[in-house]
Amino acid sequence: MIRSYKGIAPTIPTSCYIDDSAQVIGDVILGENASVWMNAVIRGDVHEIRIGAHSNVQDCSVLHGMKQQYGVYLGEYVTVGHAVTLHGCVIEDRCLIGMGSIILNGARIGAGSIIAAGTLIPEKTIVEPGSLWMGSPGKFRRKLDEKDQESIMQYANNYLGYKESYLSEPRRWLTPSQ
């Protein structure tokens, strides 16, 4: 469902894929070729949310800000894995946010970084560009190499392919007997 809130409607280019089960509400702007997958919630009701070009927000993830303090900002070619919570944070370009991660208010994830699955990034944490963080709370593990950077881009490119496939598929609802 895509809907306005307090007179502000999401801005979604036609090159984007938004699954019918996703909730995109209020002050949300998506860049070209972004995608929002099954049951994701992007709630721009208390602060703005910006999702960069070629980025993807996967199944059951939640993006929300903190009233009058923190919005959510994703750069380009960002992959947000399944069931991630991004609350009032900044994710710079070419990052991979692993499944089940939680990134809290005021945190900033530097470009070309990986946040491992299940990692908790506390409020106001600064992750240097090109870093791998993991754990709860998250801690720096190592600098990423070229192979890691290629992996980040492969995830983003996979979702660009999935997006094109879903956009080309006719939308047809089936009943249980079909």
Mean pLDDT of 96-109: 98
Within 8 A by CB and 6+ apart from 114, the residues are 95, 96, 98, 131, 132, 133, 144, 148, 152
Question: Rounded to whole angstroms, how far apart are CA atoms 27 and 134?
Answer: 31
Question: Rounded to whole angstroms, how far apart are CA atoms 130 and 166?
Answer: 31
The CB density around residue 142, as the number of other CB atoms within 10 Å, is 12
Which amino acid would we find at residue 48?
E
pLDDT value at residue 101: 98
Percent above pLDDT 90 for the chain? 94
Mean pLDDT of 119-148: 98
pLDDT value at residue 171: 75
Mean pLDDT of 117-133: 98
Within 8 A by CB and 6+ apart from 166, the residues are 17, 19, 35
- Looking at every residue in the chain, the average pLDDT score rounds to 96
pLDDT value at residue 116: 98
pLDDT tops 90 at residue 177: no
pLDDT in tens, 52-87: 999 999 999 999 999 989 999 999 999 999 999 999
pLDDT tops 70 at residue 173: no
Q: 2-168: which CATH topology?
A: UDP N-Acetylglucosamine Acyltransferase; domain 1 (2.160.10)
pLDDT in tens, 134-149: 999 999 999 999 999 9
pLDDT tops 80 at residue 157: yes
